[in-house]
Copies of this chain bind each other. A is one copy, B any other.
Amino acid sequence: MLKKGVERKEVLRALGEVFRAHGYEGASLTLITEATGLGKGSLYHLFPGGKEQMAAEVLADIDGWFELNIYAPLRDANDPARAIAAMIAGVDQYFHSGDRVCLVGLVALGSARDTFAETVDDYFARWQVALAQLLRRSGLSRSQAQRRAEDALLTIQGALVLARARNDAGIFRRALSDLMARLLAP
């Protein structure tokens, strides 16, 4: 028998990588069974809702990671500069310095977008709010803070796309370092 909590997390991690590599529609059950090491029987026992439930839980898992490691620290921070540096470091770590794709962005672009529209919107919205509020506390106006936070999210997404398109992780590194400077500017 499985240690339910632990094992499920590991399955979700493997599922995430499959979805990242092939997109929602491209991730066939064959690929999924290979990546997870679980047969269809186990898979549909764990996720009675099928592929859609798998993807939903993977997205929720990702959301949870960002909530814990990015959004909450942003909200709780006293020192803006430190908090922003921590966010940049967390993002760099999560995306493996540009090697890893953003599943939320990938879903947003594909035709599965409508199915997960709320989750996708929420992921970015909460990030933007948390970052914007931090920037406000550092002295920016409400609208400036919002715009700058929007710019940050967009830069990260764009850097991931371009890094992958050009197969050059340096793009991601440079974008993050520029972004940090831009966020901290007076």
Contact = CB atoms under 8 A, between A and B. Distances in A.
Interface of A: 21-23, 25-26, 101, 104-106, 108-111, 113, 117, 120-121, 123-125, 147, 150-151, 153-159, 161-162, 164-167, 171, 174-175, 178
B161 A111 contact: no
Contacts of A22: 25, 110-111
A109 B100 CA distance: 10
In the complex, the count of this chain's copies comes to 2
A125 B167 CA distance: 11
Contacts of A165: 104-105, 108, 113, 120-121, 123-124, 157
Contacts of A121: 165-167
A149 to B, nearest CB: 11
A23 B110 contact: yes
Contact of A161 (B117, B150, B158, B178): B158
A162 B124 contact: yes
